[in-house]
Structure 1
Amino acid sequence: MPPKNKTKKTTKKNTEKSNFADEMVDIFYRRSVLDVAVLQGHIALQYESVKKVQPDRIDLRSRMRHTEQKLQHERQDHRDVNSDLSRQYKTMQTELTNKVKRMEKEVSQLTEELVQCQEELSKEKREREQVEREKDATIAKLQHKLDNMETNYEKILHENLDGLTSQLSVARQGWEDKSTTLHQNKELLPVFGLNARHI
């Protein structure tokens, strides 16, 4: 059997420990009750806040859905605009390419026509120069003939004039001889009693 002294001490210690543990449990319990009360207060506040925020949340969700739909529409519109612009760009690019090809073809044709016109112009110039040379040669030839004819006509004219002058000189001499004879005969008329006016 154990000694008695020891038993009393142990019981006393156990009692003290038990009281201390009870106090601690009581403190923890009270503290837990306070914590629960505080947490319940927090929960009540949060519930009230949630209750107040709930309509705003619903409104925000509705607005968010509306904004998402609007964004979807805008994205679709953006895609449609991009698609339309891309189509227009391709159409314009095709038209521009066709126009460039047409214009290049026209430029090529016009260049060919220009070359042909330049060749024709060059040919015309050569022909005109040839005609002018021939004309100048003909004019020079005709001028030479004209000069020769003029010289010949002058010679003929001088010869004829000289002949005419000599003939006139001979005729004059004849007239002067006749005139002298006539004057002499006129002077003799009064001798015969004739008037020269009546004859």
Structure 2
Amino acid sequence: MSPKKKTKKIPKKKQDRSENDLEAKYRRSVLDVAILQDHIAVQCESVRTVQSDRIDLRRRARDMDQKLQHERQDHRDVNSTLCQEELRKEKREREQMEQEKDATIAQLQHKLDNMETDYEKILHDTLDSLTSQLSAARQRQEDTGTTFHQNYQGLLSEFGLNALDI
């Protein structure tokens, strides 16, 4: 058998007060529960907002990353285009310089050919002049020699000598 519980008898006044306290505690507890539920609801809403913001920020970060990648690619494309234009410009300038150099070489070669022709002409003219001067000198020499020969023959014949015998 179990021991008997002692039941205290609470006077009625105390009992009413106790019920009032209990009722006040219950109301306070209900208010505390309502406040906690509101607090939980606010926290849940805050969590949903934060999660939504996090998802939005991730999406925006992804969009910004894609935009950055596109900008980089565009920059590379523009830079590549500029490099190709610069290369074409450099090629044109080099080709122009080569053409100018070839033209200068051709002009100098033409001048050299003309000078060679002129020098050949001068040389031929000089040689022709020298040949004709030598011819004239030889002719004078022959004429002088013939004149001397005839004078000596004449002198030898005056002395009665035959030039062929001598």
More helix by share: 1
TM-score of the aligned structures, taking structure 2 as reference length? 0.49
Name the structure, 1 or 2, with higher relative contact order (CA <8 Å, separation 6+): 2
Larger Rg: 1
TM-score for both structures, normalised by structure 1: 0.42
